Chains A and B, each alone.
Chain A
Amino acid sequence: MEKYSIKVQNLTKKFGTFTAVDDISFNVKKGEILGFLGPNGAGKTTTIKVLCGLLVPTKGEVSVENYDIKKDVEKIKTIIGYMSQKFSLYTDLTVYENIKFYAGIYGVDREEAKIKEIIEMLDIEEYKNTITAELPAGIRQRVALATAFIHSPKILFLDEPTAGVDPVLRRKFWAIIKKWAQQGTTILVTTHYMDEAENCNRIALINQGKLVDIGEIDEIKEKFIKGNILCVELSENYVKEFNVLKKIEMPVKDISLHGSIVHIIQDIDIEEAKKKIKDYCKTKEIKYKNIFEDKPSLEDIFINLIRKRN
């Protein structure tokens, strides 16, 4: 049996002279959740749109479930589900009518039973007959997910599905996605929330149209961040203090600010480093609140990565 659900080779997409996706290659395994990570304008959405047949690639080969995107795009469209980054439901229709519309479009068998099932699965029964315009953001997202999954597609493309949704609902959302993946659906998802990426089997880091790396999260973390992370929590004047702290004489690999917390990546012994930082803060009169050790997060990787590029 074919191991890969999606195969992308040397894909390039240009808009005029601007290259949005620059010669990327990767494969997506059947039934895996692949997370696309990258800053704004990295080319995540563009890549997904090419895979859905919404944009024609400038160069490269793409196959989805062994169908060539250039020749068999109509066949591909019957086996994929797509949830776009923009809010995209019919606002004058009820939740039920939106789902029913897509059920009709995909020619779903046992339509009513299927609609009932997905409405229950996504826990949106109480909104079934609500006009979509009146729904809160978290519910809208779930309805959009229902419309993208009503025909049980083999592959589900989710472009920032949880943007603007509160953490509790986000967790619920991910629980459903994971369940579908376990049942064999291949899922390609983009996100800005680094913590969410931990839910993915593998992640692909994209920056400025290029695929920086793809692999399991721990692998990537190890590859990009050698050493430990010390966090220094600063007080109100953290921007000013951060600028002073940056000048510390210590073999620092990277130093960055996350809110009022400074992340310092370095390789010398943790206790020794802590002492050095404390001493430095004392002489420079930096009023820190706390110093503690932390595991590197994807965010650290990201900042590290983008620094290296520039």
Chain B
Amino acid sequence: MLNFQRIYALFKKEFVEIVRDKRSLVIVFIMPIVMILIYGYAVTFDIKNIDIGIIDRDNSSLSRGYINKIVSSGYFIPYKDAYNNMDENIKALRRERIKVIVVIPSDFSFNLKKGKDAKIQYIVDGSIANTAVIGVGYLQVLTANFANNIKMDFVKNKGINPKKFPYISPEIRVWYNQELKSANFVVPGLIAIIMMLVAALLTSLTIVRERENGTYEEIMSTPVTSTELIIGKLTPYIIIGLIDVLLVTLFGILWFHVPFRGNIITLLFFSFLFILCALGMGMLMSSIAKKQEEAIMMTFFSTLLPSILLSGFAFPLESMPKAIQVFSYFVPARYFLNVLRSIFLKQDVTILMLYKEALFLMAVSIFFLVLAARVIKKRKI
């Protein structure tokens, strides 16, 4: 039987402690904002002014139109000194003066005029993958757009009503993130990472700090059970975590202009489940660790690193070795990340549609919380 009076006493005490502890307040309110700003700009914010080299072997009005389209998009700056000079461009790519070389073949306009497929070559610096990938992404969208315009012109010139002509969709389409703004993709991911960090880090200290301060022994000499201890201690962090989710979401919407197409209830529901996972892990670390530093290190390696590396946040999971991919199925952030991206970018996402993610998050949180309760009960002091 749970004694709610005891739970309430624990809850209130923990809450007051958090509010009075400057370090906790920094973790709760300052760190998420700082993180989203730093990551938002460093990793996520749309990369503009990518230096590119241009080789125009066609030198026709069509090819110049294509180049004009690229340059006027605002995302690219052509490296003029090496214009049409392949050797110079490759050298520039090597010393990272430019990130991409766009090569327009000599049969470009010929093929297009005939209504045949035309090819464009991109030479990309693979070592700075992120910029290059984003750059190529932009180029593909621009190219598709350009191709579509030509086709429309072609149709018009032949005197055919374009409405009757079947619409030819470009081959590359970017779903849900039409503007190709990487912020749209990364900000929801950041929320998962920040939540994991805040929730797990804060709770990882909660028991071990009491153990260091000697208050833990005193609590264990009272009739408080391990379940009451966990519930009483976690509730304040759940509330704080949900406030943080709202704070970071609002920040993403207002500052980075990320769309929010889903609904807030779904967001809060899944955030609750995910926070519970994070808290369960933090609690377990806290009940195992002997020292606060130990708890922080353990939490860092067992929760934060997998959340960043194996959730699909920083690196696409598909390109990882199979063994690591399997491992990623046990990382809660992977599921929460999917959920968040869906909620932010798709319309009409309901809790039911994401029931698999919900079940998984529930299972993980129960697993860790029960384990933590057992460790607390067994270990005593």
- Chain A residues near B (Cβ < 8 Å): 49, 52-56, 74, 77-78, 80, 82-84, 86-93, 97, 100-107, 131, 147-148
Contact = CB atoms under 8 A, between A and B. Distances in A.
Interface of B: 3, 5-6, 8-10, 12-13, 16-17, 20-21, 213-215, 217-225, 380-381
Contacts of A100: 9
B381 A88 contact: no
Given A92-B17, A101-B13, A106 B222 contact: yes
B218 A55 contact: no
Given A49-B381, A56-B380, A105-B224, A92 B16 contact: yes
B16 A86 contact: no
A61 to B, nearest CB: 19
Given A74-B223, A88-B213, A97-B16, A104 B380 contact: no
Nearest to A148: B218
Contacts of B3: 107
Contacts of A131: 20
A106 B10 CA distance: 11
B6 A104 contact: yes
Contact of A107 (B5, B17, B221): B5
Given A91-B213, A104-B5, A147-B218, A55 B380 contact: yes
A152 to B, nearest CB: 14
A84 B218 contact: yes
Contacts of A84: 214, 217-218, 221
A97 B13 contact: yes
A92 to B, nearest CB: 4
A80 B218 CA distance: 11
A46 B219 CA distance: 17
Contacts of B8: 104
A148 B213 CA distance: 16
B221 A92 contact: no
Given A87-B214, A91-B213, A92-B20, A54 B221 contact: yes
A77 B217 CA distance: 12
Contacts of B12: 101, 104
A54 B222 contact: no
A105 B6 CA distance: 5
B6 A107 contact: yes
A36 B222 CA distance: 22
